Structure 1
Amino acid sequence: MKSIFEYLGILLIVFSLASCSNTKFQKLEQVDNEYNLSTESLLLNVEHTRKIDSLYDLGTDGFFNGADNVQIYYKYFIQDSLEKGAIVISSGRTEAAVKYKEVIFDLFKNGYSVYIHDHRGQGFSGRMLADTGMGYVDKFSYYIDDMKYFYDHYVAQHNHKNIYLLAHSLGGAIGVTYLEEYPDDFKAAAFSSPMLGFGFPVCQVIGLLTGDEPKYALGHTNYADGIDCFEENTLTGCEIRYDRMNQIFEELPKARLGGATYQWVYKSCKQFDVIFENISNIETPLILFSAGDEEIVCPAAHNEFIEKLNALGMEQQVYLVDGAKHELLIEKDEIRIPVLTKVLDFYAGLNK
């Protein structure tokens, strides 16, 4: 017999899928591959994937002591010759730097130094629970504290002329909060499917489901039990990149992370309030992409975010990416190439 909490959890899923929509952004059009970005056909070429792996292996990596003494893994790639700037990647939940090999390769070969760190509780960074597969964070603010330390002690130390942010999903919530707290650190910011809200009534009832002991949220499991086949996945329509992602984590089990806990969802919901309460602090030019077939975060929150920026008189570029699932940076070429092209065009337009 199901408990009241299990029924509430089922209602969460039903209502959240029904309450999220996005109709107000301009649609992203197809473009030529002018930046010579990696393609699906090239990913089938052993020589090309060897180049991607070789660059990644040449990066400088290590650990620093993050907030509350959690070890944070980082990696960066510095241009030897005259660079266009530096890009700091803030990744999504469950992700690790190693998943961004292809993105790093594309950004680096287009003249940018690249920095990335694994958020606490995922990738090769320290975990806070005995069950290391659980998605958990003690305080959401620790994510921002870690990112600020990384920026001050590694990124800023290389005296780049311009520093840009590229943030995805959870990394978007972290990135927006960072812009609100430190408006002078980034020249511009690009957001891929930023996590700015969940569908109604997730945040309205999550407090009822969150106890003292961390437990997987409804529908979430340990990594080993939760791998979907490609046809059932909600992340990407690109089977080649989906398989590459899974292969990476199969080969590197220590970098894996399973589902989110109720505690992680609860603290994320509280952070959404912080984000929208402090939106007037944002001064950084930004570009935002919202996936047309989004099932992970709530696109309606993207609308609300942009409407509030518009009300403050702040200009930005915003795009609805038709046919795209959540993971725009590992989507099919016809989605990924236009997204990254717009990002690089946006950075270049401010590269003065």
Structure 2
Amino acid sequence: MLARLLLIGMCLFMNIAIAAPELTTESELSDLGGPGLNAYWQRQAERGQFSSHDGLTLPYAKLFNSQHQKSIILVNGRTETFLKYQELARDLFNNGYNVYLYDHRGQGLAPRLLDDPQIGYVADFDDYVQDLEQFVQQVVLQEPVEGLYLLSHSMGGTISALWLSQTQVRLQAAALSSPMMGIYHKPLPRWLVNGLLTVFDSGCRWLGHTACYAPGQADYQDLEFKDNVLTQSEVRYQLFRDLYQQQPQVQLGGVSVHWLKQALLAGDQAIKQASRITIPLLVLQAANDVVVDNTAQNAFCRALAHCDGGQPRVIKKASHELFIEQDRQRRPALEAVLSFFEQHP
């Protein structure tokens, strides 16, 4: 540990370049394709299950090598599955990290919570937070680890921030990519949004439903690349869309009114509790994000005691999905993450 710190310090002092991380390029990914990624995944990934705090059985995967001394907990976003992160997991593993991934309740390969499996729903956002705690305790901490890190995306950032503000688990550092501290929307007063969601949610329950789609939401749609707002990388977009077609059980539609209400409250809470997070934290912000609210990320960073650089690290011209973006956005995002983790051994 001390030797690594001294090495980094010497390289910086002597202006010696530290080797760039090994990251898959779009060209390599085109050659590798879904079958190549899947073959790697089948060789390296171990899959299992763990128990939630309220009795659900949730799926996980890990890429583990006993020679690796560092581990990353990877927390994905809404509608996602750990299968979508095969390229990222491969890159992290090839750079010396053990990688631990799991699927949130109500999505991916995890049990759905409603009779209609397409509606995005959670009873309480704290359920997600407690699931993360159980995953770490039951799976991640069962293996010896010298350095433990966390990397999250979007909704996973909200969950991770809330978890980091209350867990007793000690991590070296964490990075949140496009964290959902607020949701991008037309500028309506928050009191009006809250009021409308309460009315819609109550109306849904009055009609006898556990949950109803929020206005404008619908079942899963396989959007063409030109219509997507997630990424500018056609090859990466098509790979994950192919995955969702080949494994339709992971498909998820839009959010319910109840989920949306819970998500907004969770973002507010994450900002309010940010000062309780004691570890170094990097926030990555996609400059052209139209999925989550970047101003809420700025507020979260201001509330943190240890926000790297004092504000989010902006990835220029990037869309929401930094880990499946074009190389020119994905590489600087991941280089920032891995460099940040190296600075906190």
TM-score by shorter chain over 0.5:
yes
Whole-angstrom CA distance in 1 between matches of 2:125 and 2:72: 23
Matched, 1:44 2:36: no
Work out whether 1:316 is the aligned partner of 2:269: no
- Whether the 8 Å CA contact 2:282–2:307 is kept in 1: the answer is no
Shift of residue 55 of structure 1? 3.0
CA–CA separation in structure 2 for the residues paired with 1:111 and 1:220: 41
Alignment equivalent of 1:167, drawn from 132, 135, 152: 152
1:69 counterpart SS class: coil
Q: Secondary structure at the match of 2:54?
A: helix
Unaligned runs of 5+ in 1: 1-30
Q: Which amino acid aligns with 1:218?
A: P
Equivalent residue in structure 2 for 1:218, among 215, 218, 221: 215
Identity %: 32
1:350 is matched with which residue? Answer: 344
Give the match for residue 3 of structure 2: none
1:74 counterpart = 2:60 = yes
Specify which of 110, 122, 129 is matched with residue 125 of structure 1: 110
**Cα distance, 1:207 vs structure 2:** 2.0
Matches for 1:135-284 after TM superposition, within 5 Å: 135-182=120-167, 184-198=169-183, 199=185, 200-201=187-188, 203-204=193-194, 205-211=196-202, 212=205, 213=209, 214-223=211-220, 226-284=221-279
Q: Which consecutive aligned stretches of 4+ in structure 1 deviate over 6 angstroms post-superposition?
A: none
- Residue equivalent to 1:27: none
Deviation larger for 62-71 or 336-345:
62-71
CA distance, structure 1, for counterparts of residue 83 and residue 213 of structure 2: 25
Could you say what secondary structure the match of 2:122 adopts?
A: coil
Secondary structure in 1 matching 2:336: helix
2:69, 2:34 → 1: CA distance? Answer: 24
1:101 corresponds to which residue?
Answer: 86
Task: Give 2:332's match in structure 1, choosing from 322, 328, 338.
Answer: 338
Q: Which residue, out of 28, 53, 56, partners 2:41?
A: 56
| Cα deviation code 1:74-95 (max 9, x no counterpart) | 01111132x2400000000000
Question: Once superposed, what is the RMSD of the aligned Cα atoms?
Answer: 1.9
List per-residue Cα deviations over 1:197-252 (Å, max 9, x = no partner): 124436534223223231111222111xx222111101001110000010001001
CA deviations 1:92-113 (Å, max 9, x no partner) are: 0000010000000000000000
CA distance in 2, matches of 1:44, 1:128: 36
CA distance in 1, matches of 2:337, 2:139: 23
SS in 2 for 1:107: helix
Alpha-carbon distance between aligned partners in 1 of 2:128 and 2:293, rounded to the nearest angstrom: 21
